[in-house]
Structure 1
């Protein structure tokens, strides 16, 4: 991974994106997103998780579907506007907690048996991805699982590609946290991996 990449995209970048369009990536309406969410949930090996953590929940579309398999789900996003809609969407789900948080500067103190990092990792610079990955892997309990899902074509203003994110985790997860890969899948435009902490 090239450490001379651009800086992590700031919170203001996402504020501007959501100011221009309430659903900029068509999470609520896209058949592609529906299929990707279904594939993501189907890839999870367990029917139920005690404590889950979703990084970059946006409008809460995946959050709502994931919540039915979680006793408690902490969902975070760096931007306030999508969190407001996510809270409304999931208001009937008492097991879901939303927080506005920016990784790696902020980080929850809870331990988790599932972490979902979907369409977020390529927004970090190489060094910030490394810092975040270390903290994510440390926060997994033994036997805990990490679901990675990312768009793979390059995007000109993203510091990393989806492949760089996944390759980093697959390369470093063993030494950092004794992780093993349970599942790997490559779609035409996205990549999915499930790792488990030994």
Structure 2
């Protein structure tokens, strides 16, 4: 069931980060720490040529993904969050930070890894489908798409984590191959490979 018909805007996220520099406790949460370990463990390759992280927030996962990518593009809609990410990752020269609102904006380059972690349920269904098509267009053949989302019901969000993942599962086996799937009581992880 969808509870909110519109995608959440950059204003929503800027207001959150103005009130709290780490609104989801990315730095201190045991849940987040375990989820990051599972996220990195799910990646089949030790090193990717070009990675794309949608919604990098304050850069906790960004910093970890940078160890697995020769180059990493991390985008976010919040200037406050991204300024924290830039400070956190200042010593890492392989990360390019850009302000970008996906799917209205999307990089014109190809990637062999795209990570969508805790972002998809902020989009309405139409925007999710637009983003999905853009991701698949820019993902190289045999490239990996990693989805990780909280699956606890939150009625303020346009979609649930399950709805986001199920939308990509609909593309198996025509456009994607599912390589891994993991569900806990709190989050769901799915790894796909572009056919």
TM range (shorter): over 0.9
Alpha-carbon shift at residue 9 of structure 1 (Å): 0.4
Alpha-carbon shift at residue 172 of structure 1 (Å): 3.0
Partner of 1:143: helix, strand, or coil? Answer: strand
**How big is the alpha-carbon RMSD for the aligned residues of Structure 1 and Structure 2?**
1.3
**In structure 1, C-alpha distance between the alignment counterparts of 2:150 and 2:140, rounded to whole Å:** 27
Are residues 1:69 and 2:48 paired? no
**In structure 2, C-alpha distance between the alignment counterparts of 1:104 and 1:70, rounded to whole Å:** 23
Partner of 2:71: helix, strand, or coil? Answer: strand
Q: Deviations over 1:40-79 (max 9, x none)?
A: 0000011000000000000000000110111000000011
Q: Deviations over 1:128-157 (max 9, x none)?
A: 100010000111001100000000011121
**In structure 2, C-alpha distance between the alignment counterparts of 1:5 and 1:21, rounded to whole Å:** 24
Partner of 1:47: helix, strand, or coil? Answer: coil
**In structure 2, C-alpha distance between the alignment counterparts of 1:133 and 1:184, rounded to whole Å:** 18
8 Å contact kept, 2:4–2:156: no
| Equivalent residue number for residue 12 of structure 1 | 11
| Equivalent residue number for residue 87 of structure 1 | 86
**In structure 1, C-alpha distance between the alignment counterparts of 2:131 and 2:111, rounded to whole Å:** 15
8 Å contact kept, 1:137–1:173: no
**In structure 2, C-alpha distance between the alignment counterparts of 1:65 and 1:113, rounded to whole Å:** 17
**Structure 1 segment 7-46 matched on structure 2, within 5 A:** 7-46=6-45
Partner of 1:156: helix, strand, or coil? Answer: coil
**In structure 2, C-alpha distance between the alignment counterparts of 1:5 and 1:99, rounded to whole Å:** 27
8 Å contact kept, 1:77–1:83: yes
**In structure 1, C-alpha distance between the alignment counterparts of 2:188 and 2:55, rounded to whole Å:** 17
TM-score, normalization by structure 1: 0.96
Gaps of 5+ in 1: none
Alpha-carbon shift at residue 101 of structure 1 (Å): 0.4
8 Å contact kept, 1:5–1:126: no
Partner of 1:9: helix, strand, or coil? Answer: coil
**In structure 2, C-alpha distance between the alignment counterparts of 1:86 and 1:173, rounded to whole Å:** 34
> CA 1:88–1:173 in 2, change beyond 3 Å: closer, same or farther?
farther
Gaps of 5+ in 2: none
| Equivalent residue number for residue 153 of structure 2 | 154
Aligned residues: 195
